[in-house]
């Protein structure tokens, strides 16, 4: 599998690939993406916070959740620095997901650009701030 740098308007990556999006590129299209944060719960609620509207799905639970995710839904994958998210993107792309994007630089880059964050389960910044992934 492979990935590429995104450089223009949001375009779907080729099947079996994924794209990096900088925070500034992701913000205008967030409403059209399902945001999955693959960090651990303590990081999700920790000092870096999380992207408003994101869902916690730790990387170690991704494989178990694959059948519950719609492969046609565009996904933005987030972690601390982009490394775990890249691993998740690789797995999702290899599983045939249509549109997978990695938040380049992760929450470190998101915070460096002064983007809004949630850091508590009850925060509400612009709507539903966060949700815990639930595998039933």
- Residue-wise pLDDT tens digits, 84-98: 999 999 999 999 999
For 14-121, which CATH class?
alpha beta
Contacts of 126 (CB under 8 A, 6+ apart): 52, 53, 116
Q: 39: exposed, middle or buried (C-beta count within 10 Å: 0-12, 13-18, 19+)?
A: buried
Q: Quick check: 51 pLDDT over 80?
A: yes
Q: Quick check: 9 pLDDT over 50?
A: yes
Q: Is 79 a catalytic residue?
A: yes
The reported pTM is: 0.83
Instruction: Give the per-residue pLDDT at 11.
Output: 72
Instruction: Give the per-residue pLDDT at 121.
Output: 55
User: Averaging pLDDT over each range in 6-20, 84-98, 112-126, which range is the top one?
Assistant: 84-98
Q: Quick check: 52 pLDDT over 70?
A: yes
List alpha helices for the chain, DSSP H. 23-26, 41-44, 59-65, 83-94, 106-112
Round the average pLDDT of the chain to a whole number and report it.
85
Among the options 79, 89, 118, 129, which is catalytic? 79
């Amino acid at each position: 599998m492979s990935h590429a740098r995104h450089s223009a308007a949001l375009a779907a990556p080729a099947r079996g690939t994924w794209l990096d999006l900088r925070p500034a590129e992701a913000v205008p299209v967030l409403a059209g993406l399902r945001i999955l944060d693959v960090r651990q719960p303590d990081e999700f609620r920790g000092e870096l916070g999380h992207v408003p509207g994101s869902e916690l799905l730790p990387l170690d639970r991704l494989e178990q959740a694959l059948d519950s995710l719609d492969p046609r839904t565009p996904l933005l994958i987030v972690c601390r620095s982009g490394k775990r998210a890249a691993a998740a993107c690789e797995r999702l792309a290899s599983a045939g997901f249509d549109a997978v994007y990695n938040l380049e630089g992760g929450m470190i880059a998101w915070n460096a650009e002064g983007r809004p964050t949630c850091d508590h389960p009850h925060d509400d910044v612009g709507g539903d701030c966060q949700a815990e992934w639930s595998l039933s």
